[in-house]
Structure formats: structure tokens, C-alpha cells
A and B are shown apart, each in its own frame.
Chain A
């Protein structure tokens, strides 16, 4: 039991000296190493349930989040899009700064050497894959697809980097570049949108947008909560359909009767929205930030400073706010002919993740269903395995009518008889094992690719937290008793009762998890 934990603990520490640039260089293998971790973990913990692994991954992704503004671009283990998004952001930053101070040959050289390194890494990766393919003929599709995605993602980031570097060379190109921006975004979500110049990072890392009012100003909080509640329910019921937008389909607001806000992709995907102006620490909730501010001095301890800032401003009459998706071409984008606005920021967040992001959360039970919104995964996992309506094609349904609709639609598909009835479970359990096997192969594969240990993101977390009481206990499967597991289902749902938490739609991590379980006494969020 100690082995994995030991490793997890020691690994970051050994790497603690690695610089930020180091981390940047290792960006791509970074996530793989996380996967690697989890796979090792799983290998040791064969007996434990599969969802264990996913949870760990999630936590990794969450640990890394506070360090985001340190340009480490740490990200969820599986979330490559996100990853590259951050990366782009950083690069954009670089290029922006370059533009501001004329042309800097040294910066250019840096960029180019970075590019060179990236290409080499990619080369290695492809070599590896080629070698793998020769060895194992019967590779699973899933694995191939993942490899492909990985390569595509890397290539895209290289291209983007190249363009931005070139852009910095020719100052006149800058404007045309930004105008070309939307098509690029459309071309592939891997590349992510190059952040329009209007967006800039201030020193503290807080994102300031010209076209988005501060979220805290949201006056109709109750409304928001209500909407979010509906949204949540909707997700619970209809998460199969992935069409969360239907929830507000009935609403027919005349154009112009509402204010259209468009958050940028980075903001949508950012796990934290509230950053400390002094130390830069990020929070999912303003309330948490205010609590945090108390540590910075007595002036933050006054009741006025601790009170909800928007309490007084509620009297102002404000236009109804509706949201636009930043993805050009999307029906939810304000430039679309049949634009249908999104009601809340939570809607935006879920919509964007579901529609324009990778489905990076894989169900740990069935290993087939993938989700981009973690709440969807949670909802699915609650029902996964309980989907007793099976089709011969392997698709499972939680509802009988869905199954029969599916069968009526497709030629040759037949209802499959559930295992417990057929008694000949041998065949099926074999299938399950092979599934598991494939997963393992996949993970081993990844670990082979990434010999470079984890990056600074992880280590930052560890530094920040400092005092995990006993990592061993944390990673021991015994500790994952159902209560704690339920604590892991941290997505805003319960917190909506609390009006302060109206901003938690922007969270994706599990700082709440820390709060609730109290396992991370040193997390410092409180």
C-alpha cells in the first residue's frame, strides 16, 4: 500500500527544483505522467473499484488549478483541450508582450527553441507509437484515437505557436491575425481560440474582460439560482441527450431586450474565477476569497469587507442578461443567424464543455461513456451499471423506451438479454476483462511515452498544501468509504442552496471537496 503513495509523494518533491520553463517544456508529457500515475495506482489497487482512478485524476487536476496563473499551464490529466488553451494563452501573452516592446530577437530565439523542442518531443512520440503498432497488432480503437488526438493536439499547439511567433515578427500582421482569429477557432477546437487582444492578464492573474461585466454584479441572483437548479435537474434527467440548451428553448425574448454577454473560452474553462489581488491565489467563490483576504490584513476583517459586495447594488434596475457562446458558428453564438442565448453562466459553462470540448471524463465503471462536464459523469456513474436496457450493439440505456427507440431506428440491432438472466455470464465477464486489459495497455503505453516526470503544476500544489497529513491514508482505497465518495460529487448542486455560491458555476475543481471532507487541513482555502 505504501508504494504508490510513496512515489506520489516523492516524485513532486524530487522535481520541486524544476523551473517554470522546465514545466513549460514538459507540457505535453505532463498530462501523460498524470495518467501514468493513476495507472500505476490502479495496478496496485486492482481489487479496488475502477472509479477510484478517475477520482484521483480529478484531484490531480484540481490540485494544479491554483497554480494556473503561474503559467505552469497545469491542467486536468485528460483535458488536453484545456491544456492547450492555457498554453495558448501563455503564448499569446508572450506574443502580446513582444508586440508591445517592439521586436525582441531574444524572445524570438526562445520561442524558436521552444518550438524545436516541441517538435522533437512530438517526433519521439510518433516514433513510439509506430513501434507500438508493430508490436501489438490488435490495438484497440480507443487507444489509436487517443494517440491521434494527442498528436493532433501537439501539432496544433506548434502551429499556433509558429503563427504567433511570426505575428510578433511583423507588427502589421497583428491586426489581421486577430481578425483571422475566429476561423482558426472554428477550424479546430484543439487549437483553441487565440485570445482576442482585448483580453489581458493583469499581474494578479485576474482576468478582466471588456465585454463581460463582472460576474459579481449579477443582480438577479435568485433567478440565477433558480435557473441553475433547473439546469441541474435537467442534467440529471437528460444527460444522455447532451442538449442542455433545450431547457431555455421555450423562452422567446425579443432581440435587444436583453444584454448579451460573451465570456471567453479561457474564462469559461477556468476553474477559479476569484483571485486574490495580493497573493494571486484563486478561488471558486467570492465568499471564499473574502475569507482568504482576512489573512492579508485587518482592513479585510471589517464586516463591510466581509459582507456580500452586491447587496447594496440590487436596487439598480438592470437589463436581463443572456449569454453567448464564444465558439463561432455555434447556434449559441451571438453571430449565429438563429442565435439562441444561454440563460446563465452555468449554462454557458456546461454548453461550452459539452459541445466544444473533449469528453475527457471517462466513466470508471463502463469505460465507454465519456463526458466533458464532470457533473454529467457523476450523474452517469450513479446510474452506470444500473442501465439494464442493453442493445446488441453494446449500447446501454437507462430507460426502456430509449432502448426500443434505438432498436426501431437501427437495422439489425436487437435487445440484449441482461446477464443475470442469461446465467452464462462467462462470455460477458470476459469482455469486461478485456476491456480492463485494454485500459491497462493504454496506460502502460502512455507511461512508456512519458519518461519525463511530472511538471511543476503538481509540485506547486504539493508545495502549497504542504501538509497533507498522511498521503498513505489518502490513497488507500479503504478510505474511500461511500460517505467520502459522495463528498466527491462536489459539483455545485448542493451548494446552490447558498446564495453566495452563485458563482460556483465557474468552478470545476474540487476545492469544495477539500472543505467538505476536511481531509486537506492544509489546503488553505478557508
Chain B
């Protein structure tokens, strides 16, 4: 939805220059104070940080962007899409920037609906509205939107919102003629009337009604007749929709490309019209327990353009039904048969129908050795195989597939507990181009085997070796995978700082690191990672009890850090957390459960700096009412878990709940339910917050509760 595309722009160089800003956000664009000191209007001077230094050194108060056309500034803005804060800062520079940004902005994710009227005045050209931060969206808001964006609105996401009704939807769908996408998932209170209202959006192409449990066939029928241009439809968990509604939508909306019918009480009766859809590429039938072999064999043959088929968790379908259903699907590339099928020779023969099959998911299936060999023979070239939690995966079977399909990119053998060194040997030797390898809990694989991964699969980007016997030597070898983005090695108790240091040094691209219960890891290892992997976005150090505040101080250099889990790290204190808060401004998820040394000081620091924080778990912490009140001032915060925080009083908690307006979910101990006024709880619930009352007994933080013997 760019107003000007890059080709219309005269200077071809500019995008490249701007591209550089992605990695290194130019502070002069973001910082109001500095912008006044810019002297030169020529953007060529902004090429390097060095020229910027020069700019800063010669203060002059003229507006450097005055000579730039709007077109160019729009292009600048296009490159700021990645960071929502950047545009906000941009608009704060001066009035002209403010107005330019207002005109330029196409998508908006408001935090509160009470400011919607003024927001709508400010941004006249919005096309994408995302209400995922607003738990309460009322009809009035939808009326206002419908009035302002009659033609421009293209997409609206109400998947996390409640309290709107069919009246508001009717206004929205009726007035916004250009509306193409609507996400109404989780609107469990919407009825057929709402569906009838949606049906007024004649041009709708994408519609998600996941979990709209009250919408029935009648409503779906209205939508089917009204929205003829639908292309993507999700009806997952619409439990009152049956064959009639699904059949009708397939009959009336001939352009459907993707259809998600997961967990619907449908049978094979609705499948004939679906299979006649000429554009259908993706069909998801997860958990459709009404579909069975008997019905499927009655389906007629014919060409089916399907590319993705998901038939997971269907108990009553065997290879016979699958064969009948998939006959004619020449272009099928992705097939998911998880949890339900027996992987036998017969099933493998069905796969012969799909010459282009690239990805097959057999998670949780009963697998036979012969079946795996047959799969190896029947498929031409697989790129992705999921055998997560398959029972019966052996070295022999796995080897047969690996030998035939050398081009494999992704392999998931999570919990295949029978495979040994031999499997890993053949995986690594024949599939050198593996990008993703998930092998959690392959407990028979010895520790020396992991070295093979590092030695042979240098292209790996994602590796999950959670709960394995891997040791420092193995990790050292793995660190040779320099492209590694995600490394998960929770519960690898043999990993120490030595191995982790190698990762820090040789895997600079790492964004996700899971060290859950790697109890041998200390500050040294963490600091090595923090220094080496500056792009780190997620780190889990839960129950790494040896870690201290210095680790956190180091991690605060990772500016992109969004998720930090330090559950049960008792040595961490508010000091470390404050450093994180100051450094990692993008922090959205924080789990400090059982960090009993973290107190109000940490919360105050968070409140001051981490304005992006969305979820926090402060159970068992030494936080009091003051800390919680501070937390409540964080605008984005929508989820809190507060169990066994002894310093809290009911009134403090109540005040915090009232103050924190964006709350969607709060987990509290059930003792508070009685001690807090019901009216207050009702009020907070009316704002869209859902309370989860827990009644677990207090656990001593120091004692290892599950006997991990850490």
C-alpha cells in the first residue's frame, strides 16, 4: 500500500542509502532535539555516520528537509515501517513532518479506542486498522471508522477485541466498500446477525471467523451469498457450522484459495463443492472427525488444483480415504497427516499421486520401517519432513529417507527416542543443505554425535537440541554453523560457559537462544553471547541460577532484545533488570518469576524505560504496591501474572488494575477475588480484561520443585 513505489522515484540510489538505516537507525530522524541542528538539506550528506557527525558539529536552525519533496520523504517513511516507534519519533520532529507522516500513514494499531476520533482526524488515508491492542472496541468506534474511511479502508483486525456487535459490523461492512480483509477471530459472542452484517461487505476477500462459536450455518450462508469474492476463509472452531454452511460457501464463492475448516463438525458431504473450486490452493481439515473413509471413497475423481492439504487429527481416515480424496491433486506440495494416520506402505503409495510433494508432516503417527522406506521411494524430492513424536521411527527407516532425499531443508525428529548415532550420521552426511533441524529429546544419540552437525551442516539456521546429551565439544562444533539464527538447548546440563562462548563468538547472527535449565552456564557464557550476538532478540535463561546481574548488564547491549526469561534466577536483582530496561527499549516480554531479589526498583526502571513491555510475570517477586503501580503506567502492558507476590495488598492491586487500561489478561491468586471489591473487578472486566484465578499453593523458591536435581 505504498503511495509511490520505488520505480517512480528518480534517484535510484536513495533506497540503498535508506536501506543502511535499517541496521543503524539514524538518530537524527528519531530525536527531536538533534534535528534542529541539521544544517544541510542534501540527503547525500547522510550517507555515512561520519557526515552526520559533521552535521551535528555545525548548528543552524533552518529546516533541512524543506527542500525535499514530499515524494522523497514518503520514501524515507517507507523505510521506517519496521519500527513503529521510528515513525512516531519522525512525526514529532516538527509540524511539517507531523503532517507528512499523517498523510503517509496507511496502517495503524491503536492502543486505546477512546482516542479514536482524534486519531481518525489525524490520519485520513488509513487502509489497515489493527485493533489487537484494544480489548474493548465498541460499536461507536466502528461507526466512526466507517464514516471516515469509506473508501480507503482495506483491512481491519478485531481478532482480540470484544464488545462490538452486529450493528457496528453492519455499518463497517456497509459503508467501507473497499474492505478486503476482516479478522473477527475469537469473537465468541457474535451471532448469525453479525454474520449477516459481514455479508454486506461485498468485496471482502479475506475473512477469519476462528472461534466464532455462535455463528451457525445460517450466518455462513449469508456470508457465502453476500461476499462472493472471498479468497481466504478461516472457519476454525466455528462449531455450529456444518456441511450446509461449508457446502454453500464453496458453491457460492468460487474464488476461494484457502479454506480452513479445522474442528468443524463436517462430513464428506460438503467436500464435492470444495473440491470443485478451481482456485483452491490450501485446504485445512484438522480435527474434522466427521470425515471418514466411507464418505471419502464416494468422492468423484477429477483435477484438483490443491497445493496444501492438512488432514491432521482425523481419526477415521486411512490411506483408502486419503487416496480417494487426493486423487487428482497433481500439484500438492504440502501434506500434513499428523496424529491419525498409520504410516504404512499403503499410505506411502498414496504419495505417488503427488509428484511435486515437498513437505510432509507425519507428527505423532505410528510409523513402520517399511512405511518409511516406501515414502522414500514414492516421493520424488522432499524438502521438509516432520516426524515429531512419531512412534516407530528407527535408524533404518530414517536412513532410507535421508539417503534418497538429499535436498532436505527441514527435518523434525523431535522425541524420536529410538534413533541413535547412526541416524544423525546419515542425516548430516547426506543432507548437507539442512536449514532447520529439530531433535529435542533424542535421548539415545550420544554426546559425540553432535559434533557431526557442526561439521557437516554448515547452512543450519535453526537447531533445537533441547534435552539432549550434547556437551561443550558438540556445541563448539555446532558453533561452526555461522548462519545460526535460533539455537534451543534447554535442559542440556552438560553445556558450560566454554561451549556457549564459542556460540557467542562464531554465531553472530543468533537471534534466539534458549538456555532453559542449562544450570552450568554462568555469567561468562552469557556475556560471551551478549557481546557476540548483538542481534539477539530472545533469550531464555530460566533456572540458570548461577547467572548474576552482570549478565543482564551485558545483555542490555543487545538493543533488539524483545523477550527475556529469567525465571528462577535468584541471584538477579533490580540492578540488572534496570540495566536491561534502560538498554533494551524494545522489550515486550519479561518473565521474572521467582526472581525474589527483584523489587520495586526494577519495576520503576521498567516503567520508566520499557514502554513496549506487553507481558510480564512477576510471581514470587519482592514487588509491592508501589512497583505494581509503576508497572501499570506502561501503556502497552496487556498481560500480567501476579501470583504469590507477598508484598501486594488488595487495594494496591486494585489501583494498578484500574490504572493499567490496556490489560487483557491478568492471572491472580484466588484469595484476591474475595478481598477485592466486585464492582472493581466488574469494571476491569468490562474494559476487556479477563481474570484467571489460580489457587496453587506457595512454593519455596529455593527448593527445586520437580526434582530436576539441578
Interface residue ranges, A against B (CB under 8 Å):
400-401, 403-404, 407-408, 412-418, 421-422
Identify B221's interface contact among A407, A421, A422, CB under 8 A: A407
Given A400-B244, A408-B251, do A415 and B193 touch, yes or no (CB 8 Å)?
no
Smallest CB-CB separation from A401: which chain B residue? B244
Identify B248's interface contact among A404, A412, A416, A418, CB under 8 A: A404
On whether the beta carbons of B221 and A415 are closer than 8 Å, the reply is yes
On whether the beta carbons of B251 and A417 are closer than 8 Å, the reply is no
On whether the beta carbons of B191 and A421 are closer than 8 Å, the reply is yes
On whether the beta carbons of A404 and B247 are closer than 8 Å, the reply is yes
On whether the beta carbons of A421 and B193 are closer than 8 Å, the reply is yes
The B207-244 residues at the A interface (CB cut-off 8 A) are 217-219, 221-222, 225-226, 244
B192 at interface (Cβ–Cβ under 8 A)? yes
On whether the beta carbons of B225 and A404 are closer than 8 Å, the reply is no
Could you tell me the distance between the alpha carbons of A422 and B199 in the complex, rounded to whole angstroms?
Answer: 16
Give the residues in chain B near A416, CB-CB below 8 Å.
Answer: 218
B413 at interface (Cβ–Cβ under 8 A)? no
On whether the beta carbons of B193 and A417 are closer than 8 Å, the reply is yes
The B581-635 residues at the A interface (CB cut-off 8 A) are none
Give the residues in chain A near B199, CB-CB below 8 Å.
Answer: 414
For the complex of A and B, the 8 pairs showing the least CB-CB separation, nearest first, are A415-B221, A404-B244, A414-B225, A415-B218, A417-B192, A414-B222, A408-B251, A404-B248
Identify A415's interface contact among B191, B222, B247, CB under 8 A: B222
B196 at interface (Cβ–Cβ under 8 A)? yes
Could you tell me the distance in whole angstroms from the C-beta of B254 to the nearest C-beta in chain A? Answer: 13
Mask for B245-273, Cβ within 8 A of A = 1, else 0? 10110011000000000000000000000
Can you identify 18 A-B contacts, CB atoms within 8 angstroms? Answer: A401-B244, A404-B221, A404-B247, A404-B248, A408-B247, A414-B221, A414-B222, A414-B225, A415-B217, A415-B218, A415-B219, A415-B225, A417-B191, A417-B196, A417-B218, A417-B222, A421-B193, A422-B193
Which of A407, A408, A412, A415 has its CB near the most chain B CB atoms (within 10 A)?
A415
Which of A404, A407, A413 has its CB near the most chain B CB atoms (within 10 A)?
A404
Given A407-B225, A414-B199, A417-B193, do A400 and B248 touch, yes or no (CB 8 Å)?
no
Could you tell me the distance between the alpha carbons of A413 and B251 in the complex, rounded to whole angstroms?
Answer: 13
Smallest CB-CB separation from A417: which chain B residue? B192
Could you tell me the distance between the alpha carbons of A414 and B200 in the complex, rounded to whole angstroms?
Answer: 12
On whether the beta carbons of A413 and B225 are closer than 8 Å, the reply is yes
Give the residues in chain A near B225, CB-CB below 8 Å.
Answer: 407, 412-415
Give the residues in chain B near A401, CB-CB below 8 Å.
Answer: 244
Could you tell me the distance between the alpha carbons of A400 and B244 in the complex, rounded to whole angstroms?
Answer: 8
Could you tell me the distance in whole angstroms from the C-beta of A466 to the nearest C-beta in chain B? Answer: 56
Having A407-B225, A408-B248, A412-B225, one finds 16 other A-B pairs with CB under 8 Å, namely A400-B217, A404-B217, A404-B221, A404-B244, A407-B248, A413-B225, A414-B196, A414-B199, A414-B222, A414-B226, A415-B219, A415-B225, A417-B193, A417-B196, A417-B218, A422-B193
Could you tell me the distance between the alpha carbons of A403 and B245 in the complex, rounded to whole angstroms?
Answer: 11
Number of interface residues of B (CB under 8 A): 18
Give the residues in chain A near B221, CB-CB below 8 Å.
Answer: 404, 407, 414-415
Smallest CB-CB separation from B226: which chain A residue? A414
Could you tell me the distance in whole angstroms from the C-beta of A135 to the nearest C-beta in chain B? Answer: 39
The B39-89 residues at the A interface (CB cut-off 8 A) are none
Could you tell me the distance between the alpha carbons of A413 and B199 in the complex, rounded to whole angstroms?
Answer: 12
Give the residues in chain B near A407, CB-CB below 8 Å.
Answer: 221, 225, 248
Could you tell me the distance in whole angstroms from the C-beta of B403 to the nearest C-beta in chain A? Answer: 51
Could you tell me the distance between the alpha carbons of A422 and B219 in the complex, rounded to whole angstroms?
Answer: 12
Smallest CB-CB separation from B218: which chain A residue? A415
Could you tell me the distance in whole angstroms from the C-beta of A395 to the nearest C-beta in chain B? Answer: 14
Could you tell me the distance between the alpha carbons of A422 and B247 in the complex, rounded to whole angstroms?
Answer: 24
Could you tell me the distance in whole angstroms from the C-beta of B154 to the nearest C-beta in chain A? Answer: 25
Could you tell me the distance between the alpha carbons of A422 and B196 in the complex, rounded to whole angstroms?
Answer: 11
Give the residues in chain A near B196, CB-CB below 8 Å.
Answer: 414, 417
Could you tell me the distance in whole angstroms from the C-beta of B270 to the nearest C-beta in chain A? Answer: 10
Smallest CB-CB separation from B192: which chain A residue? A417
The B162-217 residues at the A interface (CB cut-off 8 A) are 191-193, 196, 199, 217
Give the residues in chain B near A414, CB-CB below 8 Å.
Answer: 196, 199, 221-222, 225-226
Give the residues in chain B near A415, CB-CB below 8 Å.
Answer: 217-219, 221-222, 225
Give the residues in chain A near B247, CB-CB below 8 Å.
Answer: 404, 408
Smallest CB-CB separation from A413: which chain B residue? B225
Smallest CB-CB separation from A390: which chain B residue? B218
On whether the beta carbons of A421 and B244 are closer than 8 Å, the reply is no
Could you tell me the distance between the alpha carbons of A407 and B225 in the complex, rounded to whole angstroms?
Answer: 8
Smallest CB-CB separation from B252: which chain A residue? A408
Could you tell me the distance in whole angstroms from the C-beta of A250 to the nearest C-beta in chain B? Answer: 23
Could you tell me the distance in whole angstroms from the C-beta of B169 to the nearest C-beta in chain A? Answer: 14
Smallest CB-CB separation from A409: which chain B residue? B251
Could you tell me the distance between the alpha carbons of A413 and B226 in the complex, rounded to whole angstroms?
Answer: 9
Which of A400, A401, A412, A413 has its CB near the most chain B CB atoms (within 10 A)?
A400
Give the residues in chain B near A418, CB-CB below 8 Å.
Answer: 218
Could you tell me the distance between the alpha carbons of A404 and B196 in the complex, rounded to whole angstroms?
Answer: 16
Give the residues in chain A near B219, CB-CB below 8 Å.
Answer: 415, 417
Could you tell me the distance between the alpha carbons of A412 and B193 in the complex, rounded to whole angstroms?
Answer: 18
Give the residues in chain A near B193, CB-CB below 8 Å.
Answer: 417, 421-422
Could you tell me the distance in whole angstroms from the C-beta of B222 to the nearest C-beta in chain A? Answer: 5
Could you tell me the distance in whole angstroms from the C-beta of A37 to the nearest C-beta in chain B? Answer: 42
Give the residues in chain B near A408, CB-CB below 8 Å.
Answer: 247-248, 251-252
Could you tell me the distance in whole angstroms from the C-beta of B455 to the nearest C-beta in chain A? Answer: 61
Smallest CB-CB separation from A405: which chain B residue? B244
Could you tell me the distance in whole angstroms from the C-beta of A177 to the nearest C-beta in chain B? Answer: 55
Which of B191, B225, B251, B252 has its CB near the most chain A CB atoms (within 10 A)?
B225
Give the residues in chain B near A413, CB-CB below 8 Å.
Answer: 225
Smallest CB-CB separation from B250: which chain A residue? A408
Give the residues in chain B near A404, CB-CB below 8 Å.
Answer: 217, 221, 244-245, 247-248
Could you tell me the distance between the alpha carbons of A412 and B244 in the complex, rounded to whole angstroms?
Answer: 17
Could you tell me the distance between the alpha carbons of A413 and B222 in the complex, rounded to whole angstroms?
Answer: 9
Smallest CB-CB separation from A391: which chain B residue? B221
Smallest CB-CB separation from B273: which chain A residue? A408
Could you tell me the distance in whole angstroms from the C-beta of B478 to the nearest C-beta in chain A? Answer: 57
Could you tell me the distance between the alpha carbons of A404 and B222 in the complex, rounded to whole angstroms?
Answer: 11
Smallest CB-CB separation from B221: which chain A residue? A415
Smallest CB-CB separation from B242: which chain A residue? A400
Could you tell me the distance between the alpha carbons of A407 and B245 in the complex, rounded to whole angstroms?
Answer: 11
Could you tell me the distance between the alpha carbons of A400 and B218 in the complex, rounded to whole angstroms?
Answer: 9
Give the residues in chain B near A412, CB-CB below 8 Å.
Answer: 225
Could you tell me the distance between the alpha carbons of A421 and B216 in the complex, rounded to whole angstroms?
Answer: 12
Could you tell me the distance in whole angstroms from the C-beta of A406 to the nearest C-beta in chain B? Answer: 10
Could you tell me the distance between the alpha carbons of A422 and B191 in the complex, rounded to whole angstroms?
Answer: 9
Could you tell me the distance between the alpha carbons of A416 and B193 in the complex, rounded to whole angstroms?
Answer: 9
Could you tell me the distance in whole angstroms from the C-beta of A224 to the nearest C-beta in chain B? Answer: 38
Give the residues in chain B near A417, CB-CB below 8 Å.
Answer: 191-193, 196, 218-219, 222
Could you tell me the distance between the alpha carbons of A407 and B193 in the complex, rounded to whole angstroms?
Answer: 18
Could you tell me the distance in whole angstroms from the C-beta of A22 to the nearest C-beta in chain B? Answer: 57
Smallest CB-CB separation from A388: which chain B residue? B218
Could you tell me the distance in whole angstroms from the C-beta of B197 to the nearest C-beta in chain A? Answer: 10
Smallest CB-CB separation from B220: which chain A residue? A415
Could you tell me the distance between the alpha carbons of A421 and B225 in the complex, rounded to whole angstroms?
Answer: 20
Could you tell me the distance in whole angstroms from the C-beta of B675 to the nearest C-beta in chain A? Answer: 39
Which of A401, A412, A414 has its CB near the most chain B CB atoms (within 10 A)?
A414
Could you tell me the distance in whole angstroms from the C-beta of A417 to the nearest C-beta in chain B? Answer: 5
Could you tell me the distance in whole angstroms from the C-beta of A418 to the nearest C-beta in chain B? Answer: 8
Smallest CB-CB separation from A410: which chain B residue? B225
Could you tell me the distance between the alpha carbons of A415 and B226 in the complex, rounded to whole angstroms?
Answer: 11
Could you tell me the distance between the alpha carbons of A418 and B247 in the complex, rounded to whole angstroms?
Answer: 21
Smallest CB-CB separation from B191: which chain A residue? A421
Could you tell me the distance between the alpha carbons of A401 and B251 in the complex, rounded to whole angstroms?
Answer: 14
Could you tell me the distance in whole angstroms from the C-beta of B178 to the nearest C-beta in chain A? Answer: 22
Could you tell me the distance in whole angstroms from the C-beta of A400 to the nearest C-beta in chain B? Answer: 6
Could you tell me the distance between the alpha carbons of A412 and B248 in the complex, rounded to whole angstroms?
Answer: 13
Could you tell me the distance between the alpha carbons of A414 and B225 in the complex, rounded to whole angstroms?
Answer: 6
Could you tell me the distance between the alpha carbons of A413 and B219 in the complex, rounded to whole angstroms?
Answer: 13
Which of B191, B217, B244, B252 has its CB near the most chain A CB atoms (within 10 A)?
B244
Could you tell me the distance between the alpha carbons of A418 and B221 in the complex, rounded to whole angstroms?
Answer: 13
Could you tell me the distance between the alpha carbons of A289 and B192 in the complex, rounded to whole angstroms?
Answer: 59
